Chains A and B, each alone.
Chain A
Amino acid sequence: MNWIGPIVNVLKVSNLVKKFGNLVAVDDISFEVGNGEVFGFLGPNGAGKTTTIKIIAGLLKPTAGSVFINDIDVIKNPIEAKKLVAYIPDEPFVYPYLTAREFLYFISEVYGIRNPDKEIDELFEYFSLTDRADEILATYSHGMKQKILIAGVILRKPKIMLFDEPTVGLDPMSVRKFRELIKKVSANGTTVFICTHILEMAQKICERVCVINRGKIIGEGKISDIIRNNKDLEDFFFNLTE
C-alpha cells in the first residue's frame, strides 16, 4: 500500500482497486489532496490515471477501496459528492445540437446557478468565443469544445475540479489562459486534480504531484522539493518510470 498525506483534505482516496476482468488497472492506491491544492497525477499511457479520475468523478465503480470528497463517500452517496465535483474528460464530447450559450445555461440550470448571464458572457470573452457563442457545438473544433467544458466547470465553482489531459487540442494562448485560470481558482480555495503526461505543464501549475505506473503509485512529492532534488520534473518522472 502506498500512502501520501498532506494538509486539510478535500479528496481522500484509500486503498483503491479497479479490475477489468483479469487486468488490474488500479492496484491499491491511496492519496489525499488538500483544500485549494493543484495536484498533478502523472504517469505514462495505460498507467491507470484515467481509471482513477473516472472513479473519483463517479463514472466507474471501484472494485475495492473508497473515495471521499469533503468527507462524502463517492460510492455510497454519489449524488451529494457529484455536487462538489466537476470533471472534464480527455475527449470533449458535448451535445452537438446545443449552442455553446445554451450548453452553459443548461449547466447553470442543472446546478442551480441563478442569473449567470454576466459570467457566461465574460467566459466567452475570456476564451475568445463570443462570436461563436450562438453556434451549435457540432461546428466546434476539439479545442473549442474543450474551452466550453472548461468554461462550464469555472461557471459551476465546484469544490474540486478534475481534469483529464485538459490542454490536449488547445492552442498555446488558450493553454496559457488555462494555467492562469487554474492558479486563480486554486487561490480561491478550489482543489484542482489534473491527470496529464505533459510534464512541462504539470511543473508549471502543480504544487504537488504523484506518479502512477501499472496501477501503482511509484512516487510523489512537492514540485519545489522535486526540482531541488532532480534536474526537473521530467528527470524525476523518467527516473521512476524507466
Chain B
Amino acid sequence: MFLNHLKNADRWKIIKNLIFLFTGIFLLTLLYISFLKVLNYLKGVEIIGELLVMKLSAMVFVISFSMIAISSLIIAMTTLFYSRDLNFLFSLALDERYIFIDKVITTSFYSSWSIVVILFPYIAAMMKVSNSGIGILGVFLVGVIPYSFMAAFIGIIISLFLMYFFPSSRTRDIVWIVSSLSFSLVYVGIRFSKPEKLLRPDMMGVIANYLSYLQAPTSKYLPSWWFTKALIDFAHMKYLSSFMNLFLLYFVLIVVFWIMVRVGKNMYLVAYSQSQSSGKKAYRYTFPFEYRLSRKGFLTGIMPLLYKERISVFRDVRYLSQLILIVALSMVYVYSIKSLPVDDFEFKNLISFLNIMVSGFLCAAICLRFVFTSVSYENGCFWIYKTMPLTPQMIILSKLLFYFPFMYLFSLGIVSISSYYLSAEKFMFSFYIFLTTFMSFVISVYAISFGSIFPDFRIENIHQVESSYGGFIFMASSLFYVMFVIAIFAYPIRQYFICFGNKNLHFDWYYFYFSFAIFMILSFATSFLVFNIAKRSIQSIEI
C-alpha cells in the first residue's frame, strides 16, 4: 500500500511530503540538542551522575509508555469498533480472532510510531553521552517493538473492557473528551510550571535533586524500566543483563498478547455488536431561531443551513475534544506573552505588532481544522445540498457565516488580551483590532473557499482532509497572506513608534494610508478571487 502510495504520488504531493520530512528532521535535531545538553549535565554531576541519567531515562520511557497506552486506547475506540471496513470484514467467513488481531496490529502501529520516532533523538543523545557506539541503537530497535506493542496492547485491553461493560458510542465520546482534557491539563500544567527556568544553569541542580528522589519510574515491575535497563546496561557493557531485560520484554509481550487474544476471543464480538447500538439520546424539538429569522426575511435560504450546521457541529463530540485542546493552546500562548521578561517600550510594541502574525497563524491553523474541513465534513450527505434548490454561494456563505464569528472571537481574544499584557499604545491597540478583524475574515474566506475547491467526500477520518493537498495550499496561502500584511505595515508602524518616542519627529501618514490601501486591495481581491473559484468548484462537483 505504501509503495502504491509512493508510485501514485504526484509532484505536489512529493514536495509537500518533502517539506514535512525536512521540518520533522529539523524538530528532531532540536530535540537531540536539548536531550544532549540535559544528559551531559546530569552525567557530569559528581557521584550520582550515572544514577541521574538512568532516572531520567526511566522517566522518559515510563512517560512514553503511558502515552502509547492512552493513544492506543483512543485509536482502538475507532479501529476496533467504528472502522468502516468492519461491517464488510464481519460479513466474510472469517474467524473474528483474525479480524481482532488485524485491528490490534493496526492500532498498535498507529498509536506508537510517532512516539517511537521522538525517542530516536533521546537514544542518539544517550549514545553520544555514554560513548556506547551504534550497538545501543540496535538494542533500542530490538527492545522498542515489545515495549511499544505492550503499551498499545494495554490500551486495547482497556478499550475492550470499556466497550464490553459500557457499550455505545457515548463511551467512545467520553474517552475522547477525557483524553483531550487530560492532554490539555498536562500541556497547560507543564507550561504554567515555567519550564524555561530549567534552562538556567542554576536550575540544573534542582532537576538533579528532583530526579534523584524519584522512585516510581525505576520500579522493577514496569516494562519501561526493563527497556531502560536493557539500554543502560548495554551502555555499561553489562551485555548479559541487557539481554535478560530484552528477553523479559519479549516474554511478557507474548504473555500479554496471549491474554489479549483470550480476552478478545470472549469479548470482542459481543463488545463490537453492543457498540453498534448507540445511546438512544432524544432531543426535544423546539422551533429554532434561525428559522424565525429566515421567515422574517433575514438571510432567507441561508438560515436553515446555518441551523443544520449549528446542530451538527455542537452535537459532534469530536469538535468538543478539539476545542478543549485549542483553549489549552490559547491559554499557554497568552500566558507566554504575559511572562515575557520585556520592559522596553519599543520592544514591547514590536512584540505586540508581531503578535498579529502569530494570531494570524493560529487563526489559519484553527481554520484548517474547522472551516477548511467543513465542506468535506458533509461527506456522503453532500447529495442533499446538491439536490436542493441552493446556489453554490448559499452553501459556502452558510458555512462562512457559521464559523467566522468563532474564528473572529478567537483571534480578537488572543490579540486584545496579549496586546493588553504588552501595554500596546492606544492607537496601535485599535489598529490591531481592526487588522485582526479583517485578517480573520480573509483567512476564514480562504479556508472555506479552498475547502470547497479541494473537497473530499469519501474520507473516513476528517483529519485526512487537513493534511491533503488542498489543506497544504490553504495553509501556504494563509501564511503568505499574513506575512505579506506584516511586511506591508512594517515600515509605517516602525516609523510610528520612532515618532511616538520622539515628539520632535513628525509621523508621515502617507506611508500608512498607502499600506492600508494595499492591505485592503489584497484582502478583498484575493478573497473575491478564491470565493469565485470556490463557487464554480461547488457548482461542478459531481457525486
Contact = CB atoms under 8 A, between A and B. Distances in A.
21 contacts: A58-B387, A61-B542, A79-B390, A82-B388, A86-B387, A95-B381, A97-B315, A98-B308, A99-B282, A99-B283, A102-B283, A102-B311, A109-B294, A110-B390, A111-B388, A135-B280, A135-B281, A135-B283, A138-B169, A139-B277, A139-B280
Contact of A138 (B278, B311, B383): B278
B1 interface: no
Contact of A97 (B316, B388, B543): B316
B285 A105 contact: yes
Given A58-B386, A111-B389, A138-B169, 16 more contacts: A54-B543, A59-B543, A61-B540, A79-B389, A79-B391, A80-B389, A82-B387, A89-B383, A93-B380, A95-B381, A99-B283, A102-B285, A111-B388, A134-B283, A135-B281, A136-B281
A80 B388 CA distance: 10
Q: Ordered nearest first, which 7 A-B pairs have the shortest CB separation?
A: A93-B380, A97-B315, A134-B282, A109-B304, A82-B389, A139-B278, A97-B312
Nearest to B279: A139
A87 interface: yes
B384 A59 contact: no
Interface string A125-141: 00000001011101100
Residue in A83, A87, A89, A95 with the greatest tally of chain B CB atoms within 10 Å: A95
Interface string A117-157: 00000000000000010111011000000000000000000
A3 interface: no
B387 A87 contact: yes
Contact of B388 (A54, A89, A110, A135): A110
B416 interface: no
Give the size range of A's interface with the partner: 35 or more
Interface string A149-170: 0000000000000000000000
A102 B522 CA distance: 41
A60 interface: yes
A93 B383 contact: yes
Contact of B285 (A59, A80, A101): A101
Contacts of A97: 311-312, 315-316
Interface in A18-72: 54, 57-61
Contacts of A111: 388-389
A59 B386 contact: yes
B284 interface: yes
Contacts of B284: 134
Contacts of B404: none
Contacts of A198: none
Nearest to B391: A79
Interface in B264-294: 277-285, 291, 294
A147 to B, nearest CB: 16
A88 B224 CA distance: 55
Interface of B: 169, 277-285, 291, 294, 301, 304-305, 307-308, 311-312, 315-316, 379-381, 383-384, 386-391, 540, 542-543
A91 interface: yes
A94 B285 contact: no
A32 B543 CA distance: 24
B381 A94 contact: yes
Contacts of A87: 383, 387
A97 B308 CA distance: 9
A79 B386 CA distance: 10
A123 to B, nearest CB: 14
B50 to A, nearest CB: 56
Given A61-B540, A99-B285, A136 B383 contact: no
Contact of A85 (B281, B282, B383, B387): B387
Nearest to B542: A60
Contacts of A138: 169, 278
Contacts of B311: 95, 97-98, 102
Contacts of B384: 93-95
Contact of A59 (B169, B381, B387): B387
Nearest to B312: A97
B95 to A, nearest CB: 26
A139 B379 CA distance: 17
Contact of B389 (A60, A83, A134, A135): A83
Nearest to B541: A59
Contact of B312 (A79, A82, A98): A98
B435 to A, nearest CB: 36
B542 A59 contact: yes
Contact of B282 (A79, A94, A109, A135): A135
Contacts of B387: 57-59, 82, 85-87
Nearest to B277: A139
Contacts of B280: 132, 135, 139
Contacts of B305: 110
A57 B386 CA distance: 9
A34 B285 CA distance: 39
Contacts of B383: 59, 87, 89, 93
B167 to A, nearest CB: 13
Contacts of B294: 109
A95 B383 CA distance: 11
A110 B304 contact: yes
A204 to B, nearest CB: 27
B176 to A, nearest CB: 15
Nearest to B300: A112
A130 to B, nearest CB: 12
Contacts of B278: 136, 138-139
B304 A106 contact: yes
Contact of A106 (B283, B307, B379, B380): B307
Nearest to A152: B384
B389 A136 contact: no
A98 B279 CA distance: 14
Contacts of A83: 389
Contacts of A60: 542-543
Contact of A93 (B281, B312, B381, B389): B381
Contacts of A95: 308, 311-312, 381, 384
A105 to B, nearest CB: 7
A82 B301 CA distance: 14
B380 A91 contact: yes
B323 to A, nearest CB: 16
A54 B304 CA distance: 25
A85 B389 CA distance: 9
A21 B526 CA distance: 33
Contacts of B301: 110
Contacts of A86: 387
Contacts of B543: 54, 59-60
Contacts of B316: 97
Contacts of B388: 82, 110-111
A91 B283 CA distance: 25
A87 B260 CA distance: 48
A133 to B, nearest CB: 8
Residue in B285, B312, B379 with the greatest tally of chain A CB atoms within 10 Å: B285
A83 to B, nearest CB: 5
Contacts of A96: 312
B20 to A, nearest CB: 32
